[in-house]
Amino acid sequence: MTKIQQDLEDLTQKATSALIACEDAAALEAWRVAYIGRSGLIPGLLRNIKDLSDEEKRTVGSAANALKRELEEKYQEQLHVIEKGASTRGVQATNCKLQAGGGHLHPLTLTLNRVHEIFSAMGFIIADGPEVEEVKFNFDLLNTPAEHPARGAGDTFMVDPMSVNGAEDLVLRTQTSPMQIRSVAAMQLHPPFSVIAPGRVFRKEKVDATHESTFHQFEGLSISETTSIADFKSVIETFFSAFFHADVVIRLRPSYFPFVEPGFEVDMSCVFCKDGCRVCKHTKWIEVMGAGMVHPNVLKNMNIDPDKYQGYAFGGAIDRLAMIQYGINDIRLFWSGDVRFLRQFDRVIPAKAGIQVDPPSRRAGVDAGSSPA
Ligand code: DAH
């Protein structure tokens, strides 16, 4: 038996037993990527065939192709089993919970509530706005250049104007940043003010363990005559320290967002290690949000005089905070409706008012497969 034939046989064994062990959609997807996906082991093996003699190419090639077909079929079967199983399990678990008289909050709601609480305690007003947004608010008034790639149908979900009686150009908002303009107008805010707007956003993303086509952001805006980057740094350090119950330091890296100047990416010091770990990818820093000083054009679009007032804006992702906090390793779990995942949060006590209320153990023990921590 040649080496490649032996490899093929080993791989068959490994792939089959790993497939049977997949108990949920996330594990099955990881299996698909690892074995039969484009960069998976089986296509990898097929690529190596080119180095064999013609005779071997024929025998090994047809065996590998047959294996690939077989695994694809088994994958479909397993997918069917999981989908069927999940829906039955879901119903039973829901009934159980109903009989027991209790449900509990979704991890994203828990995280969102915590964000509300901490910013409210620091004097931020909370604002809410539409998920179907006018192009004007999502891009134009935020100083976004006409040729910016995010404006295209490749990145953004466009709303068919016919479905809304030919109203303004509409999109599913790609960010909560339009709430900067909207909240100032809707609440007639005059500086000094600080506002926070959490909400759901939508993007044409290729969905994988770290990307979803819909997720949640929180947008912050704070304006006065003197608001500075130092104020931003202090507020955001206070926020992350309260959120993670740790002494968090942040650092700013220069970046570009059309609605701020200067703009920066914000990293927080890793709250799980001192010397590097999986969560911080051994860098000791975790990227947490984008931010900057509000661009004068955007201030003008808010009817605020840029010669008199200044301030900062920031936007972070609630889903990402929840993943870091609870050690969740696959963003798709949030929308999976899988009760085996959700049930793990019935132990999590909803936070009460005040910014230092939760025991540090809140992030413990919630894992969906292996925890990144
Ligand atoms: N809207 C940006 C995004 O979704 C995030 C962001 C960056 C918001 C910088 C801000 C900011 O307010 O100043 O990627």
pLDDT tens column, 75-94: 888 888 777 765 444 434 44
For the chain, the domain total comes to 2
Taking the C-alpha atoms of residue 211 and residue 205, their distance in angstroms, rounded to an integer, is 7
Structure-block tokens of residue 90: 């879901």
CB 123 within 8 A of CB 194: yes
Q: Is residue 55 part of a domain?
A: yes
Q: Are residues 246 and 301 in the same domain?
A: yes
Structure-block tokens of residue 238: 């206070």
Q: Are residues 112 and 86 in the same domain?
A: no
**Exposed (0-12), middle (13-18) or buried (19+): which is 353, by Cβ within 10 Å?**
exposed
Q: What percent of the chain has pLDDT over 70?
A: 86
Q: Residue 108 — very low, low, confident or very high, per pLDDT cuts 50/70/90? A: very high
Q: Are residues 82 and 150 in the same domain?
A: no
pLDDT tens column, 206-224: 999 999 999 999 999 999 9
pLDDT at 372 over 80: no
**Any ligand 1 atom below 6 A from CB of 257:** yes
Q: Is residue 357 part of a domain?
A: no
CB 215 within 8 A of CB 236: no
- Point out the domain boundary residue: 94, 118, 136: 94
Alpha helices (H) in the chain, listed in sequence order: 3-21, 25-35, 41-48, 54-100, 107-121, 135-138, 178-186, 229-244, 296-301, 318-326, 333-336, 339-342
Helix (H) or strand (E) holding 222: strand 214-224
Q: Are residues 132 and 277 in the same domain?
A: yes
Q: Is residue 129 part of a domain?
A: yes
Q: In this structure, which amino acid lies at residue 307?
A: D
Q: Are residues 190 and 160 in the same domain?
A: yes
Q: Are residues 11 and 146 in the same domain?
A: no
Is the whole-model pTM more than 0.75? no
Chain Cα centroid distance, residue 95 = 30
**Any ligand 1 atom below 6 A from CB of 177:** yes
pLDDT at 27 over 50: yes
Only one residue has tokens 């770290």, namely: 210
Taking the C-alpha atoms of residue 326 and residue 29, their distance in angstroms, rounded to an integer, is 22
Q: Are residues 16 and 117 in the same domain?
A: no
- The 8 Å CB, 24+ separation contacts for 337-340 are 337/86, 337/90, 338/24, 338/25, 338/86, 338/90, 339/89, 339/90, 339/93, 339/94, 340/24, 340/89
Q: By C-alpha distance, which of 255, 254, 253, 258 is closest to 150?
A: 258
Q: Are residues 238 and 286 in the same domain?
A: yes
Q: Are residues 13 and 161 in the same domain?
A: no
- Point out the domain boundary residue: 94, 123, 157: 94
**Any ligand 1 atom below 6 A from CB of 241:** no
Q: Is residue 188 part of a domain?
A: yes
CB 22 within 8 A of CB 31: yes
Kindly give the distance from the C-alpha atom of residue 240 to the centroid of ligand 1, in angstroms, as a whole number. Answer: 17
Q: What are phi and psi of 56, to 5 degrees?
A: -65, -40
- Point out the domain boundary residue: 94, 116, 144: 94
Kindly give the distance from the C-alpha atom of residue 175 to the centroid of ligand 1, in angstroms, as a whole number. Answer: 7
Q: Is residue 332 part of a domain?
A: no
Residue identifier of the C-alpha nearest atom 11 of ligand 1: 291
Chain Cα centroid distance, residue 351 = 22
Q: Are residues 183 and 270 in the same domain?
A: yes
Structure-block tokens of residue 311: 């301030």
Only one residue has tokens 């497969």, namely: 369
Considering only residues 134 and 103, tell me which one the structure prediction assigns the higher pLDDT: 134
pLDDT tens column, 122-152: 999 999 999 999 999 999 999 999 999 889 8
DSSP reduced 3-state for 334: helix
pLDDT of residue 102: 62
Kindly give the distance from the C-alpha atom of residue 47 to the centroid of ligand 1, in angstroms, as a whole number. Answer: 42
CB 345 within 8 A of CB 107: yes
Q: Is residue 70 part of a domain?
A: yes
Substitution site in 200, 314, 319, 321 for ligand 1 pocket (most atoms within 8 Å of beta carbon) = 314
Taking the C-alpha atoms of residue 145 and residue 137, their distance in angstroms, rounded to an integer, is 13
Mean pLDDT of the 46-66 span: 81
Buried b (16+ CB within 10 A) or exposed e, 190-207: ebebbbbbbbebbbeeee
Residue 211 DSSP symbol:
B
Q: Where residue 234 sits, what CATH number does that domain have?
A: 3.30.930.10
Chain Cα centroid distance, residue 85 = 27
Q: Is residue 338 part of a domain?
A: no
CA angle 113/117/119 to nearest 5° reads: 120
Q: Is residue 372 part of a domain?
A: no
Mean pLDDT of the 35-53 span: 83
Q: Are residues 75 and 146 in the same domain?
A: no
Q: Are residues 37 and 185 in the same domain?
A: no
Q: Among the atoms of ligand 1, which is closest to the Cα of residue 220? A: 12
The range of the structural domain enclosing residue 40 comes to 3-94
**Any ligand 1 atom below 6 A from CB of 316:** no
Residue identifier of the C-alpha nearest atom 2 of ligand 1: 315
CA dihedral 232, 233, 238, 243 (to 10 degrees): 90
Q: Which of these ranges, 10-14, 75-79, 197-201, 243-247, has the smallest mean pLDDT?
A: 10-14
Number of H helices, E strands in the chain: 12, 10
